Structure 1
Amino acid sequence: MKKIKLLQQVAQEGVVAVLRGESPDEVIEMANQCIAGGIKVIEITMTVPFALKAIEKLAMSYSSDTKDPSKFAIIGVGTALDPETARAAILSGAEFVVGPSLNPATVTLCNRYRVPVMPGCMTIKEIQEALELGVDIVKLFPGNLYSPAMIKAIKGPVPQANIMPTGGVSLDNLGDWIKAGAVAVGIGSDLTSEAVKSGNYDLIASRAGQYIEAYRSAKNAG
């Protein structure tokens, strides 16, 4: 039942912060700022050096089960290329797994342990294969190669697919993606680039708040 609850929480929160950095400490600070700003679903990519350390520390600080709002967050792993990486991240506390592509063995591993898995797909064929493997949320990636109209095109033949665009989602088009039927959106460098350049990581919390406001406005409008 926990998997179902996590999927519902991800869909309810609607915005996933995709975090990359130069060290575990940097992405932990990014995550803390995102959570403070209102983004409660955090994806730590495996391209971060010693990413598992960051996932472990964040998973010890936050939980999807807590009743304390200040401690609520869902910590997951991104750029999981294979089942070995996914399992290591799960053992470190990751509650969901995201990959840039569809790797059947990774999906099987995550299904075995009842952990939500969100593989990257670009075509109807890949999306169909993901659904047949038991994937609940498909990551449309790279999202910047498409417009929000792509979701309508996908949902023509496969209306049952839950689509999460990642890459190229911005404050300007987030509303269009949600109105088009996206179950959630993934936000990457637009959240953190200005903070990294300036060294002022408080800017991430402010940016996160803008994304949450945009998401809620789009949902309310729908």
Structure 2
Amino acid sequence: MFRTTILNRIEETTIMAIVRVETIERAVEIAEGCLAGGVDCLEISYTLPNAGAIIQQLSERYGTKLLIGAGTVLDSETARLAILTGASFIIAPNYDAAVCKMCNRYQIPYMPGCTSMTEMITALEAGAAMVKAFPISSYYGPTLITTLKTPTPYLPIMSSGGVNLENIDEWLSSGVDCVGVGSLLTTGTKEEIAENAKQLKLAVVKHSSRNKSL
């Protein structure tokens, strides 16, 4: 899958589930719930040692039905291992030049966490596909995206934290390109996850429709 194809799919889906699981059984339950609700983009966090195995097994099970990436990737060694297991994108809480270089080499989108405008521009100039507003998005909320997009409207931004069913419309209206969602899409039964995913995706569809009518 080409880098541009992956980015287009992330932008189209808009909602990304941030997943931390200890077993493949729970990972499948979350994946099934997300898919049932229309969310087909999952980040599997390397905060747990089995992340590579989860990515590989989900990739083999779902193929192109799911877009699966690796999160909390702090170094180039982990990035390469994640790519080998089938990760379609790499996300981190920080920017690392070696990880960026590794991802560019294999044409895998890299989305590093950045706090300042300087960090974001540095990452973008180095070849990052999108920047993750972390940990500042959960602190400042949707107005952060509007503030960042004012001087740099071309900057692709992913939020990480602070999104819920009550404020999802505000985040979408702010101009955010992708919304990272944790507990809403990873807690509860498959049916509860599916319902949350459905509501989040519905907000995306409504927002897109409004923009097209303008």
Give the deviation of 1:220 after TM superposition: 2.1
Partner of 2:114: 121
Whether contact under 8 Å (2:112, 2:132) holds in the other structure is yes
- Structure 1 Cα separation of the partners of residues 49 and 101 of structure 2: 26
Partner of 1:132: 125
The superposition leaves residues 3-25 of structure 1 with CA deviations (integer Å, 9 ceiling, x where unpaired) of: 11110111011110111123333
- Structure 2 Cα separation of the partners of residues 24 and 104 of structure 1: 32
Q: Structure 2, unaligned stretches of length 5 or more?
A: none
What SS does the corresponding residue of 1:171 show, helix, strand or coil? Answer: coil
Structure 1 position 154 matched with structure 2 position 143: no
Number of equivalences = 210
The superposition leaves residues 28-84 of structure 1 with CA deviations (integer Å, 9 ceiling, x where unpaired) of: 3212221222101111111234111110011112233xxxxxxx2211111111111
Q: Structure 1: which 4+ aligned runs deviate by more than 6 Å?
A: none
Partner of 2:177: 183
Q: Structure 1, unaligned stretches of length 5 or more?
A: 65-71
Q: CA RMSD in A?
A: 1.5
The sequence identity of aligned pairs, in percent, is: 39
What SS does the corresponding residue of 1:160 show, helix, strand or coil? Answer: coil
Give the deviation of 1:151 after TM superposition: 1.5
- Structure 2 Cα separation of the partners of residues 176 and 211 of structure 1: 12
Give the deviation of 1:139 after TM superposition: 1.0
Q: 1:85-96 alignment to 2 at 5 Å?
A: 85-96=78-89
The superposition leaves residues 70-111 of structure 1 with CA deviations (integer Å, 9 ceiling, x where unpaired) of: xx2211111111111111111000111111111111111000
The superposition leaves residues 144-167 of structure 1 with CA deviations (integer Å, 9 ceiling, x where unpaired) of: 111212112112222210111111
- Counterpart code for 2:182: G
Whether contact under 8 Å (1:100, 1:119) holds in the other structure is yes
- Structure 1 Cα separation of the partners of residues 28 and 82 of structure 2: 15
Partner of 1:69: none
Give the deviation of 1:191 after TM superposition: 2.0
